[in-house]
Amino acid sequence: MQAEITLCLEEERARADARLNEVYAEAMTALRAMDAALSPEDRGAEMALRAAQRNWIIFRDTACEAEGYLMRGGSGETMVVVGCQARLTEARIADLEILTETR
């Protein structure tokens, strides 16, 4: 049963990762356009998002590693980590979608 749950969570994480990549690309496009409308000294939105995303990936992975300690050494540890990664990725998608909205 637990193996099936973990497999489902891994599939959910994979779908979320694919959607995250799509939304991230859309957000980067939006911020590139935003930068293009600014004077050269005011630009930096694209670079800021790139840095934020790299740091977010580190955050997600380490936060979920920590959450995995709830079942450290047990057969459910992977399930907890993968479930956490899927959950945090869905939340990040929602955050990035804000950047793609037209103003």
The CA-CA-CA angle for residues 70, 77, 13, to 5°, reads: 115
Cβ neighbours of residue 6 under 8 Å, at least 6 residues apart?
A: 78, 79, 82
Separation between Cα atoms, residue 88 and residue 10, nearest integer Å: 13
The average pLDDT across 55-69 equals 98
- pLDDT band per the 50, 70, 90 thresholds, residue 102: low
pLDDT digits (tens, 9 = 90+) for 11-27: 999 999 999 999 999 99
Residue 103 predicted with pLDDT over 70: no
Instruction: State CA 69 to chain mean position distance.
Output: 21
Domain ranges of the chain: 2-100
In CATH terms, is domain 2-100 a member of 1.20.1270.180?
Answer: yes
